[in-house]
């Protein structure tokens, strides 16, 4: 019972810290600072928005999982129809793996673009964010 409570506490702490440090990749990409300052900036940028970021990640994760499962099921059915047995080291298994990894890669890119956009719109950010002028 004590181990279960300890594991639950560590999980809650891990989720809290993951949300607080979610913008570290965006800060590291945009600002020429060291690792300690990157963590401080991420902590500062997420201040007051923890629940919003948690909700965003929760909804994003649920959507990503649903998409991966749906695409995996469709790819599995197509592979079974085209190549017969879908097992490891078979052409059908390769097709399912490749399609699954392509979907996972696309989801990762979308997440990183969303995090960059969140960073650009963060209240502590000094840069102006918007649609660039076309010059017309």
- How many Å apart are CA 123 and CA 7, to the nearest integer? 34
Question: What are the tokens at 91?
Answer: 């052409």
Looking at residue 20, its pLDDT comes to 93
Q: What 3-state DSSP class applies to 106?
A: helix
Phi, psi at 23, each rounded to 5°: -90, 10
Residue 96 Cα to chain centre, angstroms: 22
Q: What 3-state DSSP class applies to 85?
A: coil
Q: What 3-state DSSP class applies to 41?
A: helix
* pLDDT, block means (10 residues), the chain with 136 residues: 94 94 89 88 88 93 95 91 83 89 95 90 59 62
CB atoms within 10 A of CB 95: 18
Total-model pTM: 0.77
8 A C-beta contact, residue 11 and residue 35: no
- How many Å apart are CA 8 and CA 2, to the nearest integer? 10
């Amino acid at each position: 019972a004590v181990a279960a409570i300890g594991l639950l506490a560590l999980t809650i702490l891990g989720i809290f810290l993951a949300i607080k440090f979610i913008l570290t990749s965006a800060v590291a990409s945009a600002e020429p600072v060291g690792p300690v300052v990157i963590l401080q900036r991420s902590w500062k940028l997420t201040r007051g928005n923890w629940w919003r970021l948690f909700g965003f990640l929760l909804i994003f994760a649920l959507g990503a999982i649903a998409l991966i499962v749906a695409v995996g099921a469709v790819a599995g059915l197509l592979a079974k129809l085209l190549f017969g047995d879908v097992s490891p080291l078979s052409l059908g298994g390769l097709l399912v793996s490749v399609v699954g990894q392509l979907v996972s890669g696309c989801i990762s890119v979308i997440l990183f673009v969303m995090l960059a956009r969140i960073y650009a719109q963060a209240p502590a950010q000094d840069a102006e964010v918007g649609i660039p002028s076309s010059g017309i």
